């Protein structure tokens, strides 16, 4: 099983090296290399699903690459640093989301002429880093992968942004760079604090750190007393998560990145990268600092519901589709934060569903609106009206994406929202009740945008004759995302069963 994870990780890495080192080729050849290797990674992720055992209490498909050692790093004990990878239920769910979105970027988004090499190279490096982030088994691997995503995405924004590229890329670099600093200090500080408190060798491995923090018996650690890290460590982790997830008031970089980036980079940022912060909070907060999550549960609830409502109101006041999509994502991530802060198993499972659902729906809307913009040259509502007549296929997919955003039953968003609020009412009924306003607002802004875009009179009759609806080559990727959103909403058990195993791993018994 480990060889499958090798393939997932190193197919995009090989693609990055090949694209960077090969002599000058045509844009079409670079895209072909990109598509082939991204497809290999996607197939390998599918094979991991067939061999994954949710009942297992250990990480699976473990890959270890020792790198270097620090002699006498801590009280005479050596510390070996390496790249360690593996999967559990949480890793597999988010790895699958990333594999699907990154594959769709390769096969369905256009590249400006002359930029084929740059796009293929940096997207494949970002793919490797994202896969490594979600499958890392030690703090060093996780932090290194986060830094590589920052590096690769910066160059994508700088080279391929459709507007204001330099400002957008630098803002992204500054905000996410500061978030990385907070994550580095908090996680390294947690590792040293854990070793000092437990009087044991320094380790960066997830399983060992979780065993010490939660006081559970594992193959490598004896049953120990409960350990709680200093609160400043958790607060730094929380600040890093808030920036990574673009929470208000640290969100300014995100709407600009989504609005100005090309479609592929916007899908990478909105569909995948904004899930790394929530992943860190689940992996390190819930899994290793559960006592601190409970102490700051009202902070998480306040920030979460605040972002849920702020994102919804901002999306309602938006004047174009890209701004609506970005603030809608912020709103969804607010509900994720609220659910995680409850420390309830059902709410945390709902948060995991929401991460996958939000990534798919965001990518669906970005891809659909890119097809609309290719024909109308704008996404501003005041210039769009009555597109249902000349563009019925694209308008239909846009309507579905809007309905999925508001959590319509039988779509993936409904499952996550239902579980998150169900668990939230058990712990914070007042916050949960206030948060329901966000669901009402999501219906308002989604349907308002659809009404302004697809219904009403078509004002430019001359252009109507020239508009050509999406060809099959354009709409089948959108249809694939639509089917995934429906499948998860209608048949949630496979993904839910995998996530349930992750919930049991993260939450200590009785926690």
User: DSSP state, 285?
Assistant: I
Task: Give dist(CA 81, CA 121) in Å, integer.
Answer: 27
For residues 61 and 2, is the Cβ–Cβ distance under 8 A?
yes
The answer to whether residue 280 scores a pLDDT higher than 90 is: yes
Name the domain count of the chain.
Answer: 1
Residue 407: inside a domain, yes or no? yes
Other beta carbons within 10 Å of 22: 12
Residue 396: inside a domain, yes or no? yes
For residues 107 and 21, is the Cβ–Cβ distance under 8 A?
no
Kindly tell me the burial class for residue 148, based on how many C-beta atoms sit within 10 Å of its own C-beta (0-12, 13-18, 19 or more). middle
Task: Give dist(CA 168, CA 252) in Å, integer.
Answer: 10
Other beta carbons within 10 Å of 217: 10
**Structural domain span for residue 467:** 316-511
DSSP class per residue in 129-175? HHHHHHHB-BHHHHHHHHHHHHHHHHHHHHHH-SS-HHHHHHHHHHH
Residue 71: inside a domain, yes or no? no
> In this predicted model, what pLDDT tens digit does every residue of 348-397 receive, in sequence order?
999 999 999 999 999 999 999 999 998 888 898 888 888 888 899 999 99
Task: Give dist(CA 26, CA 34) in Å, integer.
Answer: 13
Confidence of residue 510 (pLDDT cuts 50, 70, 90): very low
Residue 166: inside a domain, yes or no? no
For residues 55 and 66, is the Cβ–Cβ distance under 8 A?
no
Instruction: Please tell me whether residue 69 adopts helix, strand or coil conformation.
Output: strand
Task: Give dist(CA 242, CA 238) in Å, integer.
Answer: 6
Task: Give dist(CA 351, CA 188) in Å, integer.
Answer: 26
Residue 205: inside a domain, yes or no? no
Token output for 415: 């499952």
Residue 32: inside a domain, yes or no? no
For residues 194 and 70, is the Cβ–Cβ distance under 8 A?
no
> In this predicted model, what pLDDT tens digit does every residue of 213-271 receive, in sequence order?
765 434 344 444 444 567 899 999 999 999 999 998 999 999 999 999 999 999 999 99
pLDDT for the residue numbered 159: 92
The phi and psi torsions of 63 (rounded to 5 degrees) equal -125, 125
> In this predicted model, what pLDDT tens digit does every residue of 78-98 receive, in sequence order?
777 889 999 999 999 999 999
For residues 340 and 293, is the Cβ–Cβ distance under 8 A?
yes
Task: Give dist(CA 391, CA 438) in Å, integer.
Answer: 30
Task: Give dist(CA 18, CA 188) in Å, integer.
Answer: 34
Token output for 431: 């916050």
For residues 501 and 89, is the Cβ–Cβ distance under 8 A?
yes
Residue 111: inside a domain, yes or no? no
The mean predicted confidence, pLDDT, of the chain is 89
For residues 114 and 27, is the Cβ–Cβ distance under 8 A?
yes
> In this predicted model, what pLDDT tens digit does every residue of 331-346 receive, in sequence order?
999 999 999 999 999 9
Residue 335: inside a domain, yes or no? yes
For residues 57 and 505, is the Cβ–Cβ distance under 8 A?
yes
């Amino acid at each position: 099983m480990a060889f499958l994870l090798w393939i997932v990780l190193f197919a995009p890495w090989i693609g990055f090296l090949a694209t960077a080192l090969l002599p000058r080729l045509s844009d079409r050849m670079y895209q072909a290399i990109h598509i082939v290797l991204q497809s290999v990674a996607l197939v390998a992720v599918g094979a991991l699903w067939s061999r994954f055992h949710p009942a297992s209490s250990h990480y699976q498909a473990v890959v270890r690459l020792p790198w270097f050692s620090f002699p006498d790093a801590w009280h005479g004990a050596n510390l070996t640093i390496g790249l360690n990878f593996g999967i559990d239920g949480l890793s597999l769910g988010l790895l699958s989301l990333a594999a699907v979105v990154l594959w769709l970027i390769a096969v369905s988004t256009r590249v400006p002429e002359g930029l084929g090499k740059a796009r293929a190279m940096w997207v494949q490096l970002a793919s490797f880093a994202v896969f490594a982030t979600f499958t890392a088994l030690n703090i060093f691997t996780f932090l290194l992968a986060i830094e590589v995503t920052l590096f690769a995405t910066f160059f994508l924004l700088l080279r391929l942004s459709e507007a204001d590229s330099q400002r957008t890329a630098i803002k992204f670099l500054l905000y996410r760079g500061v978030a990385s600093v907070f994550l580095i200090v908090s996680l390294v500080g947690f590792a040293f604090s854990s070793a000092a408190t437990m009087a044991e060798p320094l380790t960066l491995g997830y399983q060992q750190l979780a065993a010490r923090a939660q006081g559970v018996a594992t193959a490598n650690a004896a049953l120990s007393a409960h350990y709680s890290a200093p609160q400043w460590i958790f607060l730094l982790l929380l600040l890093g998560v808030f920036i990574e997830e673009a929470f208000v008031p640290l969100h300014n970089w995100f709407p600009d990145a989504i609005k100005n980036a090309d479609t592929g980079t916007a899908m990478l940022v909105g569909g995948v990268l904004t899930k790394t912060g929530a992943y860190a909070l689940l992996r390190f907060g819930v899994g290793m600092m559960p006592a601190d999550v409970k102490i700051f549960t009202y902070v998480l609830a306040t920030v979460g519901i605040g972002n849920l409502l702020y994102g919804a109101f901002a999306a309602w006041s938006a004047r174009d589709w890209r701004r609506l999509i970005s603030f809608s994502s912020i709103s969804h991530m607010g509900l994720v934060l609220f659910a995680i802060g409850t420390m309830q198993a059902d709410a945390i499972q709902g948060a995991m569903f929401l991460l996958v659902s939000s990534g798919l729906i965001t990518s669906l809307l970005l891809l659909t609106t890119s097809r609309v913009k290719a024909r109308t040259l704008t996404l501003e509502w005041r210039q769009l009206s009555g597109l249902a007549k000349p563009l019925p296929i694209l308008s239909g997919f846009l309507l579905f994406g809007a309905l999925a955003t508001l959590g319509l039953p039988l779509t993936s968003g409904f499952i996550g929202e239902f579980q998150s609020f169900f668990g939230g009412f058990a712990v914070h009924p007042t916050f949960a009740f206030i948060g329901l306003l966000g669901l009402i607002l999501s219906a308002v802004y989604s349907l308002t945008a659809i009404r302004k875009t697809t219904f009403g009179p078509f004002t430019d009759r001359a252009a109507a004759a020239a508009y050509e609806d999406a060809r099959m080559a354009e709409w089948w990727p959108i249809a694939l995302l639509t089917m995934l959103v429906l499948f998860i909403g209608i048949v949630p058990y496979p993904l839910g069963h995998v996530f349930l195993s992750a919930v049991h791993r993260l939450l200590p018994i009785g926690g």
